[in-house]
Amino acid sequence: MSGHSKWATIKRKKAATDSARGRLFTRLIKEIAIAAREGGGNIDGNPRLRLAVQTAKDANMPADNIKRGIQRGTGELPGVTYEEITYEGYGPAGIAILVEVVTDNANRTVSEMRHLFSRHGGNLGQAGSVAWMFDKKGVITIARTGNNSALTEEDVMAIVLEPGAEDLQVDEEVFTVTTQPASFDAVRLALETRSVKMENAQVQMVPQNVVKVSGKEAGTLLKLLEGLEEHDDVQNVHSNFDIDEDELAAIQNQS
């Protein structure tokens, strides 16, 4: 889990400093529209939509925006037709990367993905080239601050174990709960029922093993990952890298 956790930590810190709200809202609206298109506009019968709406609410998205996103997905309002695509490739040092996108122009997006990989020392691969290195898991992060500051590891374990949590990791900043995809919604709802504030809750691709990267390659890899994250069509980026904490801090101080 270290490679997954490291990238999640980097994204958390960037989200606190970058002016990324516009990109976040765009991603959330796309997810709401697709979830409504695939499973209908009733959140009670559509777990994916229920999660998307809750994530949007947590990000303080206006209710009217959420409603319009659902209506575009169900066809009640006109809107762009989106396609979900996962691109696979390699970064510096052979690091495996999965990029989940939602696009209205696949030809444009694949060209831009290829350019980003090439520009930062990587290459876009074929379907299936790296996906086998990852497992689909539900991942829930819980910040150990604010209303959660009194939560202990035992408290969280008591809440998530019965509905099907697979693993709980603890560091200074967050609890990270991992589940099988089938148990994800039940675990998330158990935490919600107990008024536990979740920082992030998603079904993600978690690497089976991680690859240590350092030096110039580490800096180039982070630039690639950040470039992918900042692309308008990108919803999620998953990778199997690991970087030493001190080296990571040095790279971030230089940028």
CA triple 190-194-198, angle to 5 deg: 75
- Where residue 5 falls among pLDDT bands split at 50, 70, 90? low
Say how many C-beta atoms besides its own lie within 10 A of residue 224's C-beta: 24
246 and 152 in one domain?
A: no
139 and 182 in one domain?
A: yes
Please compute, for residue 114, the number of CA atoms within 13 A of its CA located in the half-sphere on the CB side: 8
Sheet of 234-239: strand order equals 123-124, 83-90, 96-103, 234-239
For residues 155 and 59, which has the higher predicted lDDT (pLDDT)? 155
Residue 253 burial by Cβ neighbours in a 10 Å radius (0-12, 13-18, 19+): exposed
Whether 176 maps to a domain, the answer reads yes
pLDDT at 36 over 60: yes
Q: How far is residue 54's CA from residue 44's CA, in Å, rounded to a whole number?
A: 12
234 and 129 in one domain?
A: yes
- Where residue 109 falls among pLDDT bands split at 50, 70, 90? very high
234 and 126 in one domain?
A: yes
Domain that holds residue 236: 83-133+209-254
157 and 38 in one domain?
A: no
Q: Are 223 and 254 in contact, with CB atoms under 8 Å apart? A: no
- Find the CATH number of the domain harbouring 123: 3.30.70.980
% of the chain surpassing 90 pLDDT = 68
* Best CA proximity match to 222, nearest among 247, 204, 201, 202: 247
Mean pLDDT of the chain: 88
- Where residue 34 falls among pLDDT bands split at 50, 70, 90? very high
250 and 128 in one domain?
A: yes
166 and 125 in one domain?
A: no
236 and 141 in one domain?
A: no
